[in-house]
Every structure is written in C-alpha cells, then in structure tokens.
Amino acid sequence: MSTKYIFVTGGVTSSLGKGILIASLAKLLQARGYSVTIQKLDPYINVDPGTLNPYEHGECYVTNDGAETDLDLGHYERFLNKPTSQANNVTTGRVYQSVINKERHGDYLGKTVQIIPHITDEIKRNIKLLGRKGKYDFVLTEIGGTVGDIESLPYIEAVRQLKWELGKSAMVIHLTLVPFLSASGELKTKPTQHSVKALLENGVQPDVLVLRTEHELGDSIRKKVALFCNVDENSVVQSIDVPTIYEVPLKMKAEKLDLTVLNKFGMSTGKEPELEAWKSFLKKHKNPKSEVNIALVGKYVELPDAYKSISESFVHAGAVNECKVNLQYVHSEEIKSGNVDTILKDFDGVLVAPGFGHRGINGKIETARYARENNIPFLGICLGMQIAVIEFARNVLKLEEADSTEMNEVTKYPVIDLMEEQKGITNMGGTMRLGAFACNIKKGSKLYEAYKKTQITERHRHRYEFNDKYKKQFEDKGMKAVGVNPDTNLVEAIEIEGHKWFVGVQYHPEYNSTVLKPSPLFSGFIKACLTK
C-alpha cells in the first residue's frame, strides 16, 4: 500500500488546537492497526525553537535524537506513544538553510534560486522523506500558522502541488472556528467560509472541514458549510470544547472522522479502534480518589505552555495514582526567605522547573531549602536539580556563595560547572547536550523505587553539570549521586538520604511521559506527595 498523506491547515485564528486534532486522528488510525507518524511544519525563520524564549513559543520539546522542536511534537508522542525525531519538525529557517547550502555547493547548476520551485521542492522533500520506504501507512503533516499568513504561503503551495502529484493519496483537512455570538444567540459560519475561500485562492480545496465550536452544531449549519465550501456533508466535522485534550480522540471517533478519512482514501476501515487502555486512563483521570497540591516554581509561570510537558506528565502520573493533581504555578521571583513558608505551606510537594539564566534563582534556592528542611517531597528538573545542589552546598556544606558558573563565573565553589565538551562553544543553536542518554541507577534509591530498573534512558537539554570534584563532600553529608551516566560518569540524579522524597534529575523526565507510558519518576513523586 502506498503511503497516504494528510495535511492539516488552520483558519480563522491560531490556537484552535491543530496539534491535538491531528494527534487525535492519528491516534484513531493507529488504533485501527495502521502505522502513522505526525510532522509539524513551522513557518518561522528560526532554524528550530531552541533559541526562542519560552514567552515567544512555549516549551521547547526535545526528541530522542536531540532535536529541539515545537511543543506539538510532545502532543504527538503523548498521544501515539511513539518517539518522533528531527524529521518530524521542519521550520522555514531549516528549509532556507538547506536550500542556501545547496546553492553555495553549486547544486542548482547556475539556475536562479526561487521560492517556487526551490523552496517548495525542499518543503515537499521534507514531507515525502517521512513516507519513504513505505514505513508508514499515513504521514500526517500539520502546517503551522493560519491560512492567509504571508509566511505560510510556500507551505500551502507545496500542499497544492503534492495534492496534484499524489492525487488520491493526499488529503487536506482544514480546521476553523465557528464563533457563537451571545448577543444574537447564533453560531456564525462566515469566518469559515472566508477561510476556505483563502485556501481556494491558493488552489487548495479542503476535503474535510473540522469546525471548532463551544456549542453543538445543528444539521443546518453542517449543510450550509458543506454547500458553501464544496465538501460532503459528512465531511463537516464538529470539534466541540472538552474538559481534557485526551477526550478529543473519542469525540473525533464519535464524529467518524477516521472513517471519513479512510473512505475518502478508499481504504478498508481496518479493525475497530483499540482504545481500551486509553479509556481506562481517562476513567482514572476523571474519577480521582484523592487530591494533591503541587507547586511548580519557575519563572515563566505567566505562560503555562512554557511547562507543557511537565503539566501533562502530572496528568499522566495523577491517573496512575488515581489522584487529582492541582498544579499551581508559583513565580520564583516572588519567593524570598521571609515568605517562602507562607507561600509553600499548603503544598504537598514542590517542583523546581528547568530554566536558564539568573532571573528568579534565589526564589528557587529558597524553595529547595524549604522542601529539604521541612521534609516536603521535592522534584528538581535540570536547573531544578542544579539549584538543589547549590542550596545544599551553601546551607549544609557551608560553602558560602557556592554557585553554578552559569550564574557566577568566578564563584569560589563552582558546584555546578560548564561541561568540558561545552567549553569553547560560541554558537547557541543546537549546541547543548541534547537528546537521550543512558543513566545507571543505584539500587535502594528513590529513583530505583520509581523506575524499578538499574538502567534507564532519558532526554537532556543542558550545558552545565554537577562538579565531580565535590561529589565526596556532598555524599558524606547525605546528598547522594544515585544516577550516573555509564560512559562519562556525569551525575544524572541526586537524592537526599533520610528525606521523605527529595530527588533532582539533570535530565527531563517530562519528555518521555505518555498516556500509555507515564513517567515513573512523576508517578513516584505523586505517590510520595500522597503519603501523609
């Protein structure tokens, strides 16, 4: 069977949830026994989001192969329980970089290099790359941005060409919004009509329309949209607001989106979707038997998307423990030694978030001290682990002003220091220690209790590390290195002996947490928060 290509475009506004829609459709196709992969094309000129401030673009997600990618790839992995890679995220910057490199190499043989065909060809190459060797039955590609944006044009043109070339093996699903005007009590389809017109102006006729709405769409609305937008009535699909993103696949199943797609491709429907484990997760998620309050201490708290994978990991870990996790974002800049107990006293556990740079550091250090001294479950991730190390050095080892050289280059006690391989690096893009690495776990540790294994693989994104020179001093006073990289000896995880649950990890467990395979570390953390 030849690979089928499904493109998802968006209209009317951004943030309609194209990522969740495409992941839900892929989930249903996967549950029917098909092999699927999802790709995101981002129209910005950054080569990847690694250099973007989280305020601009939310979290930077990291794949096993060390690609710094859009946070939608996190949704793809959480829904499909399958790893993605660099090939699953392409930006305009990456496309141009590759074309310009080819031009410099002389590959275009004297031709004028242009958006059409060279940029569009490069976009098409990146899409078809995933379908190569028939590895997947379906390649689903999300086109970032909104139809009508100048920067999306080359992508829409590439989709038009691919639809033309691939014929019945390609399809376009367009996601739009049907707003409800409360003054007149009406749902409005005009924005959808305009948005489909914009697509048509670019030569693309959508095959399926998914209408995001706050209220049920009646038959008359579906009929009207079908007639005005040249699509079959059963290809107008409603996507109504739901309390959790994990319900969207079931909603799309009820709307028969998967069947509509398979019918259009003339394909067999496969088996009935196997969604038992998914439903059992949802059941636990919706019927918690207990509750915990967790503080996420970070500096990007105004924008919850900055910690997307962490908050989703808590949803997964909550379900494992049949527990509702009330995650509250606490601004690290607001925490001082004088108010830390007032701010944190009602929480069952605290997480100190990953991050870069000096802003909000002292609040994070106070948080780690408070959790350590008061026996409150603590999880430090990446910078969060480094903070726990700095706090322990200052207040337990009495190494006054101990620091990370990221914050103070000339500190007398560099307990966290730049990794050897990082010295001399001046380019910021894609140069951190990135991707999956192995970690050996010490038996008897909280980490071992969580993973129940002596070797794990987790993903990384950092430049600084625990300074081995101080290891003995820390271990003598009770902060133990319980996770170590088998090849480099780099400290991947620390714990405080005798504490209820105090774990810091240099890696990012949140990138590996999926609905069907929740992060054991997050589950262990919640379990510890539950034991009074």
Closest to 524 measured CA to CA, from 449, 460, 459: 449
Query: How far are the Cα atoms of 20, 105, 114, 403 from residue 101, in angstroms, in the given order?
Result: 34, 6, 14, 42
503: contact with ligand GLN by CB under 6 A = no
Q: Given the complex with ligand GLN, which of 118 and 461 has the nearer CB atom?
A: 461
Query: Residue 250 CB, nearest distance to ligand GLN (Å)?
Result: 34
Query: How far are the Cα atoms of 294, 299, 361, 429, 467 from residue 432, in angstroms, in the given order?
Result: 29, 21, 21, 8, 17
299: contact with ligand GLN by CB under 6 A = no
Task: List the interface residues with ligand GLN, window 419-478 (CB under 6 A).
Answer: 461-464
Q: Given the complex with ligand GLN, which of 407 and 530 has the nearer CB atom?
A: 407
Q: Given the complex with ligand GLN, which of 355 and 363 has the nearer CB atom?
A: 355
In angstroms, the CA 73 to CA 253 distance is 22
Cβ count near 160 (within 10 Å): 18
Query: Residue 502 CB, nearest distance to ligand GLN (Å)?
Result: 18
Q: What is the DSSP letter of 409?
A: T
Task: List the interface residues with ligand GLN, window 392-411 (CB under 6 A).
Answer: 406
Q: Given the complex with ligand GLN, which of 383 and 402 has the nearer CB atom?
A: 383
Query: Residue 214 CB, nearest distance to ligand GLN (Å)?
Result: 37
Q: Given the complex with ligand GLN, which of 156 and 493 has the nearer CB atom?
A: 493
Give the DSSP H/E element, type plus range, for residue 484. strand 479-484
Q: Which of 355, 414, 435, 520 binds ligand GLN (CB under 6 A)?
A: 355
- Alpha-helical regions (H) of 68-217: 72-80, 92-105, 120-131, 153-166, 190-201
Phi-psi category of 31—alpha, beta or left, where left has phi over 0 and alpha has psi -120 to 50?
alpha
Query: Residue 381 CB, nearest distance to ligand GLN (Å)?
Result: 7
Catalytic residue among 118, 142, 510, 529: 510
108: contact with ligand GLN by CB under 6 A = no
User: What tokens does 90 get?
Assistant: 């392409």
Q: Are 277 and 516 in contact (CB under 8 A)?
A: yes
Q: Backbone phi, then psi, for 134, in 5-degree steps?
A: 60, 25
Q: Is 382 in the active site?
A: yes
Q: What is the DSSP letter of 113?
A: P
In angstroms, the CA 160 to CA 205 distance is 9
Query: Residue 123 CB, nearest distance to ligand GLN (Å)?
Result: 31
For strands 4-10 and 180-181, give the pairing: unpaired
Q: Which of 49, 206, 249, 354 binds ligand GLN (CB under 6 A)?
A: 354
Using CB under 6 A as the binding criterion, the count of chain residues that bind ligand GLN stands at: 10
User: What tokens does 158 get?
Assistant: 């590439």
Catalytic residue among 60, 229, 323, 382: 382
Query: Residue 423 CB, nearest distance to ligand GLN (Å)?
Result: 13
Task: List the interface residues with ligand GLN, window 373-392 (CB under 6 A).
Answer: 382-383
Q: Is 508 in the active site?
A: yes
Q: Given the complex with ligand GLN, which of 204 and 352 has the nearer CB atom?
A: 352
Residues that bind ligand GLN (CB under 6 A): 354-356, 382-383, 406, 461-464
Q: What residues are annotated to the active site?
A: 382, 508, 510
